A and B are shown apart, each in its own frame.
Chain A
Amino acid sequence: MVSDAPRPLLSVSNIEVIYDHVILVLKGVSLTVPEGGIVALLGANGAGKSTTLKAISGLLRTERGEVTKGAIEFRGRAIHRRNPSEVVKHGIVQVMEGRHVFEHLTVEENLLTGAYTRHNGQSTKKDLDVVYHYFPRLTERRGFKAGYVSGGEQQMVAIGRALMARPTLMLLDEPSMGLAPMLVTEIFEIVARLNRAEGVAVLLAEQNATMALQVARHGYVMENGRIVLDGDAKAISENEDIKEFYLGLTGVGQRKSYRDVKHYRRRKRWLS
């Protein structure tokens, strides 16, 4: 089920990541993303999801992090020594946690910066239309400073901006963060449509496992810098431990109150 294709689009093999030369954060993480697939990377605060994505995109180095062991291959090519700009040119774009829009640029300028690595003005115009097609809300906001649009719209700007680079693989880091449930649903639906219609593969890091497992076909659960569980999205969402301690579900699809979920999160090391 992991991959129908003989070779996955992305394969991360047994990587170790160290920050500041001493802080060991990832302790042998392996995962694969198939061509055109959506894979969820789940885990609580500090599990190492963002670090994994940054290791892939090359953003790690700006935070003094380093991949010290293992390998990351994209279409069979090693990319873990590349800088972020080269990685983008290879077809991988990360949408960072917390949106990170360019606040003083307009929404449209934000989108246009996403096309930086591609020089063709003609196709840029076309891609802009594609983004507005998927995010019609942004059309009305195109002339607004991105710092002043709503959080949901900022998340759309961030995803749209990444799309402008025409990625084969998008690394989405907690797109649900700080957004109302309705908006989260809307954004996840768009991501699923993008995946279906444009064929963009997605590696989705999320704390909101319920939502993530609805769009993903495959999932990995991280804890403390290790993958502790992986499998078919459906299987994971039906896993009793996950249900009980992670998804915060009781009964059928009922979400427990935030405080309850927090309580479970505080009970660390639930799987090891």
Chain B
Amino acid sequence: MNTATAARVPFEPWKDPQAKPYIRIVNVTKTFGDFVAVDNLSIDIYQREFFSLLGPSGCGKTTLLRMLAGFERPTSGRIELDGVDMSTVPPYERPVNMMFQSYALFPHMTVEENIAFGLRQDRVPKDERNARVEEMLGLVQLSKFAKRKPHQLSGGQRQRVALARSLVKKPKMLLLDEPLGALDKKLREQTQFELMNIQEQVGITFVIVTHDQEEAMTVSSRIAVMNHGRIAQVATPTEIYEFPNSRYVAEFIGDVNVFEGRLSEAAADHVRIAPVGGGGEIYVDRGTSAAQGATVWAAIRPEKIDVALTPPTDPSVNCIEGTVWDIGYLGNLTIYHVRLADGRKMTAAVANRTRLREQPITWDDTVYLTWAPDSAVVLVS
């Protein structure tokens, strides 16, 4: 795409103890009657971040976003933006804009008027207003459609109008509630990259709500995985994927094989896990916080598992034997569902690097599943 990407310094303010959080969500709880939608939640978000709230439907993502926008008041806790407590500031006075899930375009106004609306409220002089609207129209490539009404636009165009309208006031924070949810898959993927480019150009802090884990992985600087109104984990996409902190996160993000087991050896730099169902011990070359003898789970991503018809020559490598139960050919990948001796199933995803394997693996073959010591993650909850 662009050559600047390669030279970019890593953007990781959350690792810098000197950096001041831009948005602080402090012990925020929101209840509707007896129902706790957001439960004592705290997050720090840094300037220019592209921060995702990810979780299944109903876990409180929209509620949290609406509290950031000012449409809901926290039952307790506080929200600070750039050092200012926002708790009692009404939505029309917050330096925050939101892009709504339904886009919420004003049906009786043209594209141009929709985008200009926010500037009109601030009594921005006409010349400047026109210039900024034009700039936004250019940014989202809708200059040709300025005079159209929302109903004369396609879904993708409406989405871009909504984006332009919420960016034109240069808010300190832009909130996006499932911004791409209404687009079809192809357009969605393309728009994800556009959204990232736009965010980089305007330099505004984005907080996006999504239930689509691939989307969150693609666009985010960091992801907060939510579960029943609480934070399960906040980390970068890579960390979330490679080092989930719980079975909930591991299973929510992508596919994963999870073995329950007992921690038979817990050293500082490695552990061994004896699986509950029997079979060989699993060796992981990282320490864990759990004590020896504790129940833990080993999580292994399917693409980190290799499938072979012959046992590995090195006996120290992690290996489990099983029979092929089902094969799914996806073109770029082949998915093997393997049944182990104790009846459990494991999934392995193998990249199809060559056209055809010399010796194809087929149904009911006995296979050996192997993975490296650094491929598994030990989960304590």
Tell whether A and B belong to one assembly: no
